[in-house]
């Protein structure tokens, strides 16, 4: 590398750092003046003026109203990230459906659609469905002047985040599929892939039920049970990226068989299929309920909603099953709260519609078992985004990427044209 090239490289790095510092303060403070930006970033006022000018020119940032500062008598103009800077697509692959949202740059959902499938439909069809949903999202903004800034994807399994590869999805039976390569052949966009529990934890931390918390344990109860841990707004993913695989903690060595082969894993008691299985067993034993065995035959996230509806209508068996589930959830949660001592616990996933009916049981069960100092500090709340939390997390990863690599984003904004389909 020649000296000139090196200088150019250093300058570009510095420019990226400075722009990113400004954008990060704009995100943290929502509305902020140039003077406050200078103070918070430590950059001089002339530099701030120049950087802000550039961000405004590209439509990344906009001026909004005046803040009257009584002390000096001179009003200053406030700045904010422009919600119309561009669009973000967030997608979710799950075992029984795919969902895609299109948002503005602030995360407001402009369009959403989902398509159902079963794991037996096979990889080709499930991927075709996912692709058609993403293409439909792209079509929504075909005539807009602002670009799509990135595509985030949530998947139900272990992920190599750096390479964008799904390593293993136990409930789909998929192994080693490079989503970044596959999506990269269709879309010229920054692409991020992560595990659904991690993304849901991130989505709730940035935009949902844990916005004001710095240490969050998100419990994701779907067809399995996972968790995401977010500390200082960053996912704690562990050495191999699998931190938070809490579903296979043994809570009863003589309990029911789990998919992993062990007996009495937490997941074997509280996952959505496990809840429905307990219900089915009680019906087989001759107990009566508004829910029939037929309803329980085909598992999907909607089956839990039916159980909740029945409980709300006063169905005693449904109520009992949910109460029991709440106690089991609290049992596992007590262990996790003792180990991690989180500030906030967010409950999400397929069981989301059921939590309001179980929260009392969950809290009682935690308090009966966890150390007092641990449970007193842990606020247990229900996810704000329900089973869409991972989509909001997928949005957040792209939003983050855009703010961390502003030079790349400015180039994209400067093109002023839509995503090219490859
Ligand atoms: Zn297990």
Whole-number Å distance, alpha carbon 169 to ligand 1 midpoint, is 14
Ligand 1 centroid–CA 353 distance in Å is 24
Low-confidence ranges of the chain (pLDDT < 70): 1-4, 67-74, 415-422
Total domain count, the chain: 3
Distance, in Å, from the CA atom of 210 to the CA atom of 381, rounded to the nearest integer, reads 9
CATH code of the domain in which 92 resides: 3.30.420.40
Q: 108: CA distance to ligand 1 center in Å?
A: 37
Backbone CA torsion sign across 384, 385, 391, 392? negative
pLDDT score recorded for residue 69: 59
CA of 265 relative to ligand 1 center, distance in Å:
5
Q: Which two tokens stand for residue 20?
A: 């990113």
pLDDT of residue 420: 41
246 with 361, same domain: the answer is yes
**Residue 95 Cα, ligand 1 centroid: separation in angstroms?**
18
Q: How many angstroms is it from 268 CA to the middle of ligand 1?
A: 7
How far apart are the two ends of the chain, measured CA to CA in Å?
A: 33
Last residue of a domain, one of 48, 81, 114: 81
Range of the domain at 143: 87-201+389-415
Q: Which residues pair with 99 in a beta bridge?
A: 92, 114
Under DSSP, the state recorded for 219 is: E
Query: What are the backbone angles phi and psi of residue 112, rounded to the nearest 5°?
Result: -145, 140
Summarised one tens digit per residue, pLDDT across range 252-272 is: 999 999 988 899 999 999 999
What's the pLDDT score for residue 68? 64
* CA 31–ligand 1 middle distance (angstroms): 47
Q: In this structure, are 51 and 95 located in the same domain?
A: no
The pLDDT assigned to 259 comes to 83
174 and 120 fall within a common domain: yes
Distance from Cα 260 to the centre of ligand 1, integer Å: 4
Domain with residue 19: its CATH number is 1.10.10.10
Asked if residue 273 lies in contact with residue 298, where contact means CB atoms within 8 angstroms, the answer is: no
Contact 202, 396 (CB under 8 A): yes
pLDDT at position 4: 67
How close is the Cα of 254 to the center of ligand 1, in Å?
Answer: 13
What is the distance in A from the centroid of ligand 1 to the CA of 250? Answer: 7
* Ligand 1 centre distance from Cα of residue 4 (Å): 58
* pLDDT for position 387: 82
What is the C-alpha to C-alpha distance for residues 222 and 347, in angstroms, rounded to an integer?
A: 11
Q: What Rg value do the Cα atoms of the chain yield, rounded?
A: 24
**Which residues, including other chains, have CB under 8 Å from residue 262's CB and lie 6 or more apart?**
248, 250
User: How far, in Å, from the CA of 266 to the mean position of ligand 1?
Assistant: 7
**Based on the domain organization, do 119 and 242 belong to the same domain?**
no
pLDDT digit string (tens) for 18-52? 999 999 999 988 899 999 999 999 999 999 999 99
Which residues lie closer than 8 Å to 111 by C-beta, 6 or more apart? 101, 102, 137, 140
């Amino acid at each position: 590398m020649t000296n000139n090239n090196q200088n150019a490289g250093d300058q570009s790095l510095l420019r990226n750092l400075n722009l990113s510092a400004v954008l990060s303060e704009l995100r943290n403070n929502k509305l902020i003046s140039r003077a406050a930006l200078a103070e918070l970033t430590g950059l001089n006022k002339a530099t701030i003026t120049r950087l802000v000018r550039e961000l405004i020119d590209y439509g990344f940032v906009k001026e909004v109203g005046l803040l009257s500062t009584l002390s000096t008598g001179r009003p200053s103009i406030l700045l904010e990230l422009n919600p119309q800077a561009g669009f973000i697509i967030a997608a979710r692959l799950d075992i029984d459906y795919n969902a895609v949202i299109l948002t503005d740059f602030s995360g407001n959902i402009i369009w959403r659609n989902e398509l159902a499938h079963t794991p037996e439909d096979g990889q080709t069809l499930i991927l075709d469905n996912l692709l058609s949903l993403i293409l439909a999202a792209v079509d929504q903004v075909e005539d807009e002047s602002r670009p799509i800034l990135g595509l985030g994807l949530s998947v139900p399994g272990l992920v190599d985040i750096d390479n964008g590869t799904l390593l293993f999805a136990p409930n789909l039976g998929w192994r080693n599929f490079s989503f970044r390569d596959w999506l990269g052949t269709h879309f010229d966009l920054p692409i991020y892939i992560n595990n659904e529990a991690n993304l849901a934890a991130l989505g709730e931390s940035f935009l949902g039920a844990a916005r004001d918390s710095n240490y969050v344990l998100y419990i994701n109860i779907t067809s399995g049970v996972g968790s995401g841990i977010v500390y200082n707004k960053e996912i704690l993913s562990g050495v191999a990226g699998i931190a938070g695989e809490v579903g296979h903690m043994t809570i009863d060595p003589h309990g029911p068989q789990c998919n992993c082969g062990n007996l009495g894993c937490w997941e074997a008691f509280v996952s959505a299929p496990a809840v429905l299985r307990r219900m089915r067993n009680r019906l087989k034993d001759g107990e009566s309920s508004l829910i029939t065995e037929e309803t329980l035959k085909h598992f999907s996230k909607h089956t839990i909603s039916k159980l909740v509806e029945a409980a709300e209508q006063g169905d005693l068996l449904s109520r009992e099953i949910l109460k029991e589930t709440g106690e089991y959830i609290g049992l596992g949660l007590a262990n996790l709260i003792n180990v991690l001592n989180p500030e906030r616990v967010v409950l999400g996933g397929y069981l989301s519609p059921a939590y309001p009916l179980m929260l009392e049981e969950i809290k009682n069960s935690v308090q009966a078992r966890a150390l007092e100092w641990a449970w007193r500090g842990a606020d247990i709340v229900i996810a704000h985004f329900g089973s869409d939390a991972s989509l909001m997390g997928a949005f957040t990863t792209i939003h983050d990427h855009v703010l961390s690599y502003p030079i790349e984003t400015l180039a994209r904004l400067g093109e002023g044209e839509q995503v090219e389909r490859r």
